[in-house]
Structure 1
Amino acid sequence: MKLCKLNANSDVAALFHTLGVTREGSTILKQKAHHNLIYIKDLKTPAANILKQDALSIGADLAVPKDTITCKTALVDAILIANDKQLKELARKEKAQPFGLKEVALKLNELCVTCKNDFEIMGVINTNEDSFFQGSRFSGEAALKHIETMIGEGASIIDLGGVSSRPGSLSVSEMEELARVKPIIDLIYEHKLFEKARFSLDSYSPLCLEYALQRGFSIVNDITALANDDVARVAAKYDATVILMHMQGEPLSMQQEPQYDNVLIEVDAFFEERIAKAKSFGIFKIVLDVGIGFGKNLEHNLTLLKHHEHFLHFGYPLLFGASRKSMIDKIIPTPISERLAGTLALHLKAYEHGATILRVHDVKEHLQALSVLRALNQTTF
């Protein structure tokens, strides 16, 4: 007899198939193989005691502060440890419990979501001269050629920008932004490149977005997440997909000592609010972006990456964009031109944690890295 310890991230469905487990059995076993750690903030102390006992009764557990049982404080934070099957069972149990546990039950049901294995690469191109990565700046026919190259290398989405949103950058007028992006939009439309890939405009200008959406673009990449109602109206008018990105502050000052009580909970609350706003305007094609580097320090960025899968509970695709960003430099001092390796490390981890759209400057390298990672994940032994 021999025993082999398998990686926790193994494709259990493939393993069960190899063993000859029935499809019905595999469905049941997969729920037991995937474990979850769920942080619960401001849980009423009586609720924590009930949830602890209910969790233990089904083989799960709840980590709580030592004085929880005596109810010395009104509220406590806790960490639930449970597999997918246990989450569903707890959600059923807590529906009948007091002290706010009915709301916990609803949230647990939302969190019973698994990560997909597909991915899309969004290639970045900028028309402005002050974007932080010089290698993304193109104009005229050179821009058209670069777009065609990115599509050929595997990009299914192209994200065009005309205004820098790097830390410390200043906004420009709508007319100035339109003057920058209009020639590229016209070339894309003239050559019907929207038949080969989807096009996104990185903008929060209603004027520029309307111009792009009239000419084959289908995605609004709004770093302000529909702060402007006119952007919402334009997106709804053209039935566009909207990327809602979280940003604390604005580009000019966002990196001046950003602070959060709990970055996961605050970003989650922001998404909840902006999703509701999007729906109120008739926008239902939504992508979520945690906004790496937009009003966040290194610890905030790493926390959002490590727990990125949490945001799958909203039921929308997750976009992640850390391409060549300064968080790499803060981990290991590296000039922008040499940050591809760090970018790949961050983006591969993001993919493993639920991201299905990666916004990148280097398409070919990402396609290769992601293809190899997916092959590794799909290998049974």
Structure 2
Amino acid sequence: MKLYRLGTVTDKKAALKALGVESGGIEIMVKKMELLYFYIKELKTPAANILKQDALSIGAELAVPGGVILCEQPTYDCILIGTRKHMEILSRKELAQPFGLKTVAQELQKFLSPKIFPLQIMGIINANEDSFYAGSRFVAEDAIVRIEKMIEEGADIIDIGAVSSRPGSETVSESVELERIKPICDLIIRNRLDERVTFSVDSYTPSVVEYALRSGFTIVNDITGADNREIVKLVLEHDAKLCIMHMQGSPKTMQKNPHYEDVTAEVSTFFEERIEKCEAMGMKREDIILDVGIGFGKTLEHNLTLIRNMEHFTHFGCEVLVGASRKSMIDKIIPAPTEARLPGTLAIHLKAVEEGANIVRCHDVAEHRQAMAVWEVLRQ
């Protein structure tokens, strides 16, 4: 007798097929072979008791504090545990229940059927001299040479910015930012590079964003998270996409003792509010990209928590970007200068993609293209 553990969904389906299970049965059984966990915050006590009983009745479980049965508090945090099949049943069953369980059911349905987006690699070009990684700094003709190289290496998107947002960095004037990026935009148009790759502008300055959009750019990467309505208006006018990033504070102050009660929940609430704002102005979710802002007002533990819980943010129905390329969180795990952080970068990005991110913002396109190609084969 031999016993071995089945790994991916592909492995499970292959094993069931090898047993001779019919195709319809395979799909049913695979759902029973994936265990899911959902943390529910501030669930009304009557709802917790109902959900507990409903979960137990189908073989799932709801972990609750001891006082729930006695209704000692009006709300409780809970953990729902079960297979994908259990969650599908509960997502339908709780739609008819009171005390907020309809909302729980609707949220479960979002998590169970997230929109799938293609995996894309976003290369980084900085048109300034003070970005934290010297290897990303290029101006005018040099930038175009680097862009050509990134296209050859397999970049899907190239993100160009002219102002550093590293911790402690100072803001620059609008005219200086435009002066830095304008020559690159002009050369992109002249060389018709916008026909070969998607361009993203890393800016929250309206005049800079407008110039880039008129130069063939189709994504605005806004580290202020759509704080300025003018940026959203420009995105709509040019039929572009908007990347909303979360940041606590500003680049100058963000790493001065960042604090969260629950970083995943608070970043999630931020996205809910900004998505609602953008939709109210006319944007569609498929044109919104979410970036949790690794290193932007976060400690190492905050960053790690967000990467481990990246899948949570897929339920919004938007694309999810991760950008940890060569950042200092790697140095905090294992000391390494910026130039030596590629291995740590790949480890973080592969984990983030495994958890649901589909856009990887990086300095090293070729290395990421190879790593992602191998990862995609392994996950099948």
TM-score by length of 1: 0.95
Residue by residue over 1:316-371, the C-alpha shift from the partner in whole angstroms, topping out at 9 and shown as x without a partner, is 11110000011111111111111001000000000100011100000111111111
Q: Tell me if structure 2 keeps the 8 A contact 1:157–1:198.
A: yes
Mapping of 1:260-271 within 5 angstroms? 260-271=260-271
Which stretch of the first structure deviates more once superposed, 335-344 or 21-30?
21-30
Mapping of 1:161-176 within 5 angstroms? 161-176=161-176
Which residue does 1:291 correspond to in 2?
293
Letter in 1 for 2:288: I
Mapping of 1:23-42 within 5 angstroms? 23-42=23-42
Unaligned residue ranges in structure 1 (runs of 5+):
none
Mapping of 1:86-105 within 5 angstroms? 86-105=86-105
| Whole-angstrom distance in 2 between the partners of 1:20 and 1:210 | 59
1:19 to partner: Cα distance: 5.4
Which residue does 2:180 correspond to in 1?
180
Which residue does 1:151 correspond to in 2?
151
* Aligned residue among 370, 377, 380 for 2:379: 377
Which stretch of the first structure deviates more once superposed, 71-80 or 203-212?
71-80
Query: Residues 333 and 32 (structure 1 numbering): CA distance in 2 closer, same or farther, change over 3 Å?
Result: same
**Structure 2 counterpart SS, 1:95:** helix
Letter in 1 for 2:311: E
Which residue does 2:216 correspond to in 1?
216
**Structure 2 counterpart SS, 1:252:** coil
Mapping of 1:168-317 within 5 angstroms? 168-284=168-284, 285-317=287-319
| Whole-angstrom distance in 2 between the partners of 1:169 and 1:206 | 20
Which residue does 1:356 correspond to in 2?
358
Q: Tell me if structure 1 keeps the 8 A contact 2:6–2:12.
A: no
Query: Residues 197 and 102 (structure 1 numbering): CA distance in 2 closer, same or farther, change over 3 Å?
Result: same
1:210 to partner: Cα distance: 0.8
| Whole-angstrom distance in 2 between the partners of 1:243 and 1:16 | 41
Unaligned residue ranges in structure 2 (runs of 5+):
none
Residue by residue over 1:97-151, the C-alpha shift from the partner in whole angstroms, topping out at 9 and shown as x without a partner, is 2222122112111111358584110000001111010000011211111111111
| Whole-angstrom distance in 2 between the partners of 1:9 and 1:222 | 36
1:262 to partner: Cα distance: 0.9
Letter in 2 for 1:125: I
**Structure 1 counterpart SS, 2:331:** helix
Query: Residues 288 and 50 (structure 1 numbering): CA distance in 2 closer, same or farther, change over 3 Å?
Result: same
Letter in 1 for 2:304: L
Residue by residue over 1:286-315, the C-alpha shift from the partner in whole angstroms, topping out at 9 and shown as x without a partner, is 111111111111111111111110111111
| Larger RCO (CA within 8 A; separation ≥ 6) | 1
**Structure 1 counterpart SS, 2:90:** helix
1:24 to partner: Cα distance: 3.0
Letter in 2 for 1:254: M
Which stretch of the first structure deviates more once superposed, 41-50 or 209-218?
41-50
Mapping of 1:40-59 within 5 angstroms? 40-59=40-59
Q: Tell me if structure 1 keeps the 8 A contact 2:9–2:30.
A: no
Q: Tell me if structure 2 keeps the 8 A contact 1:11–1:377.
A: no
Q: Is 1:325 the equivalent of 2:320?
A: no
Mapping of 1:105-120 within 5 angstroms? 105-113=105-113, 116=116, 118-120=118-120
**Structure 2 counterpart SS, 1:70:** coil
Matched-pair identity in %: 56
Q: Tell me if structure 2 keeps the 8 A contact 1:247–1:294.
A: yes
1:29 to partner: Cα distance: 2.9
Letter in 2 for 1:6: L
Which residue does 1:347 correspond to in 2?
349
Q: Tell me if structure 2 keeps the 8 A contact 1:115–1:353.
A: no
Q: Tell me if structure 1 keeps the 8 A contact 2:224–2:246.
A: yes
Query: Residues 67 and 264 (structure 1 numbering): CA distance in 2 closer, same or farther, change over 3 Å?
Result: same
1:9 to partner: Cα distance: 6.5
**Structure 1 counterpart SS, 2:32:** helix
| Whole-angstrom distance in 1 between the partners of 2:16 and 2:137 | 48
Which stretch of the first structure deviates more once superposed, 59-68 or 205-214?
59-68
**Structure 2 counterpart SS, 1:33:** coil
* Runs of at least 4 residues off by over 6 Å: none
TM-score by length of 2: 0.95
1:18 to partner: Cα distance: 5.6
1:20 to partner: Cα distance: 5.6
1:209 to partner: Cα distance: 0.9
Which stretch of the first structure deviates more once superposed, 97-106 or 141-150?
97-106
**Structure 1 counterpart SS, 2:73:** coil
Q: Tell me if structure 2 keeps the 8 A contact 1:116–1:354.
A: no
Which stretch of the first structure deviates more once superposed, 179-188 or 369-378?
369-378
Q: Tell me if structure 1 keeps the 8 A contact 2:115–2:317.
A: no
| Whole-angstrom distance in 2 between the partners of 1:230 and 1:114 | 30
1:2 to partner: Cα distance: 2.7
Query: Residues 21 and 289 (structure 1 numbering): CA distance in 2 closer, same or farther, change over 3 Å?
Result: farther
Q: Tell me if structure 2 keeps the 8 A contact 1:289–1:318.
A: yes
1:27 to partner: Cα distance: 3.1
1:46 to partner: Cα distance: 2.0
